[in-house]
Amino acid sequence: MHPQPDWSAIRADFPILDQEVNGHPLVYFDNAATSQKPRAVIEALRTYYERDNANVHRGLHELSNRATDAFEAARGKVARFLGAASAEEIVFTRGTTEGINLVAQAWGGRFVRAGEVILLTEMEHHSNLVPWQLLAERSGARLRFVPVLEDGTLDLGALDALLTPEVKVFAFTHISNSLGTINPVAELCRRARAVGALSLVDGAQSAGHAPVDVRAMGCDFYAFSGHKMCAPTGSGALYGRAEVLEATPPWHGGGEMIVSVSYERATFKPAPHRFEAGTPNVAGAVGLGAAVDYLEAIGRERIFAHDEALALSALAKIETLPGIRIFGPREQRGGLVGFAAEWAHPHDLTTYANEYGLALRGGHHCNQPLMRKLGVPGTNRASFYFYNTEAEIDRMMAILTAAHGFFTR
């Protein structure tokens, strides 16, 4: 049995948390939007820019060699982090949004035809909805949606009627960014395969928060963002099963992704380089690799248990306030709580909390269709990571209690 990490010592790795906002200690509960960065990642970026900065792959000088080695080493780290079969199944992207757009436009543009079906769920982030809407408009395909039940889980009983042989791709989130719902991704991928559909998993809220094994999951694509797991903004990756990537045409054209070019035509490199036109975000990949090392040293099983415990504690405390509606499952959930106060608009409550140093998020969380289904203009969301503490939840509760008095006076 491995000992529990020293969470206080780990928290000290994040210099941004040691500050005051509006004269109060910062309580950062907006981790579902973006996480903070440890010194190890910041130092990796500094070292890269001070020592190794150069363009990758095309140079023959020492700095280019070092930059290329660091860039490709990060690809290998991400592959192992996700349980991919090889580094060639990892395409570097700017994050989840770009990864899903790549699949929808490049793979979808070649393989999705009029009359076929794109299956999504009602809890999808706009990043896993709008790209498919655009593909449906271009191709003549149709969209279907797996309903969300009152408890925030998917209506799996509706799958038999929705997941038919007409479905070309089934795209769904692993952990909902509004509800905290943890979807049964392996089952959903298995059922997609059974009807000949490809599966894409939105891993934005799971990659750095829970163990992920894409081969055990059985997905064809898995997209995630580095900035939600301690890495720099503008970093992330798309996992694609080797044979699926190999059948997918290029998305962007330019330097690096070619074998040869004439005035009339070009030939292209195999995956993943076929999808990485132009100068990549080398520093972002280096920082992503450093974040992977950092998280692996802690252990994602421990991170998940820590964050879920905070979420369940926060849920139990928040619902003691008058006029509060909690969204999502009451038991196993990701490390966030979405709630609505009948006595304050989400934006007003978030603004009030900020006056006392509490960073919540208020709004639709890029889930506008889901919010309409829930009958609310938006929610407040408290989202946690391994550097957060029970004491911070108590501080949040003191602020929310004061807010209730302020808005109902």
| pLDDT tens per residue, range 87-141 | 999 999 999 999 999 999 999 999 999 999 999 999 999 999 999 999 999 999 9
Residue 371: exposure state from Cβ atoms within 10 A (0-12, 13-18, ≥19): buried
Q: What is the DSSP letter of 387?
A: T
Question: d(Cα 143, Cα 162) in Å, to the nearest integer?
Answer: 10
CATH no. of 42-297: 3.40.640.10
Residue 209 backbone zone (phi > 0: left; psi -120 to 50: alpha; other: beta): alpha
Stretch (H or E) spanning 42: helix 39-47
| pTM of model > 0.85 | yes
Stretch (H or E) spanning 239: strand 236-240
Do 336 and 384 touch, CB atoms closer than 8 A? yes
Which residue in 189, 219, 230, 366 is the catalytic one? 366
Per-10-residue mean pLDDT, the chain, length 409: 82 97 98 98 98 91 96 98 98 98 98 98 98 98 98 96 98 98 98 98 98 98 98 98 98 94 96 96 98 98 97 98 96 96 97 98 96 96 98 98 96
Note whether 7-30+300-407 and 42-297 share their fold: no
- Domain-by-domain residue ranges, the chain? 7-30+300-407, 42-297
pLDDT tens track for 294-312 = 999 999 999 999 999 999 9
What's the pLDDT at 3? 72
Beta strands 117-121 and 142-146 are parallel
What's the pLDDT at 58? 78
Question: d(Cα 170, Cα 189) in Å, to the nearest integer?
Answer: 8
Give the chain's largest Cα–Cα span: 73
Question: Is 366 noted as a catalytic residue in this protein?
Answer: yes
Homologous superfamily of domain range 7-30+300-407: Aspartate Aminotransferase, domain 1 (3.90.1150.10)
